[in-house]
Structure 1
Amino acid sequence: MAAPVVVHAPDAEGGRRVVARGQVLGTAHNVMDVLDMLETVGLEREHVRLDDTQLIDWRDGGAYEWTPSSG
């Protein structure tokens, strides 16, 4: 089963699109932005493990990869 949250690869500015269960939550520029967005869909930050692959699919880098893409 796919993770319900997808954090896409960094864009040219280093922002990463965050999608939860098919709903685009916005563009995050750091981990705190991701946690803020997840709270809007009922996931309390105290209960979110950023390394939980059952919850979050980090595309092209993990939670601490925010380097802008070269393309």
Structure 2
Amino acid sequence: MATDRPVVVYPPDEEGGRRVRINGRIAGRAYSARDIAAFMQEAGLQSFDEMDVVRSALIEWRGGGPDVWAS
């Protein structure tokens, strides 16, 4: 599945973590929207916060949206 969104959040794993890919590179594993916001800040969007994660069109959510953290 191709996407034009620079951020992909993958389905939760058995430990509740979700892989996060930014611009084609794995940024890490997130356990909350706060973690995704931190990855976005590291990628250059310093003002990105948890509410931006929930609302952003930059993010493709796979396997559930920002409220899904368990498999």
TM-score by length of 1: 0.83
Distance in 2 of aligned mates of 1:49 and 1:35: 6
2:21 is the alignment partner of 1:42 = no
Amino acid at match of 1:12: E
Greater fraction of residues in helix: 2
Larger relative contact order (CA 8 Å, sep ≥ 6) = 1
Q: Which runs of 5+ in 2 are unaligned?
A: none
Amino acid at match of 1:51: R
Q: Which runs of 5+ in 1 are unaligned?
A: none
Match among 46, 51, 55 for residue 51 of structure 1: 55
Distance in 2 of aligned mates of 1:51 and 1:27: 20
C-alpha RMSD of matched pairs (Å)? 1.8
